[in-house]
Amino acid sequence: MTNQLLLVNGPNLNLLGIREPKVYGTQTLHDVETLVSETASARGFAVRAVQSNHEGVLIDAIHAAREDCEGIIINPGGLTHTSVVLRDALSGVALPVAEVHISDVRTREQFRHFSYIADVAAIHVIGEGVAGYATAVERLCALITGTSAD
């Protein structure tokens, strides 16, 4: 197995930098993917990135990760609060998972307070903006390699 991580970004994250910049900031999905790749590379990991507005595409990517990835970083977007099947896909591949949310979903609308992903994720990074992706990568790589995230 190669030292590779899967980065999954769910629905509407293709609109980063455009959609509600007061909530999500002005950095783009490309910026996120670059940050994750650079952070992972410094830890000896490659990254395969997928973003889709279609749940099945995300599930297929998660299933494929069991063949060549050692962990998954996921920002499921709105699927966080609605998708049992996404949760089951993550559970089913038995890879360590880092859940990321750009905004602090715990301080937003009530429906955003619940995450179907929470119980299958070993790492949770919430409300750190786009920089939270780097934190998630560092923690996930440390978990996988048994080293410090510092």
pTM, 2 dp = 0.92
Q: Which of these is catalytic: 30, 54, 63, 101?
A: 101
Mean pLDDT of 131-145: 97
Inter-axis angle of helices 84-93 and 55-68, nearest 10: 10
Tokens of 54: 């279609």
Mean pLDDT of 52-64: 98
pLDDT band at 150 (very low <50, low <70, confident <90, very high): low
Domains and CATH numbers, the chain: 4-145 (3.40.50.9100)
pLDDT band at 1 (very low <50, low <70, confident <90, very high): very low
pLDDT at res. 68: 96
- Dihedrals φ, ψ of 146, to 5°? 75, 30
101 given a catalytic annotation:
yes
CA distance 9 to 105: 16
pLDDT band at 27 (very low <50, low <70, confident <90, very high): confident
Residues at the binding site are 75, 81, 88, 102-103, 112
Contact between 108 and 114 (Cβ < 8 Å):
no
pLDDT, greater one: 104 or 138: 138
pLDDT at res. 21: 79
Convert the pLDDT of each residue in 2-20 to its tens digit: 699 999 999 999 998 998 7
Residues at the binding site for substrate are 75, 81, 88, 102-103, 112
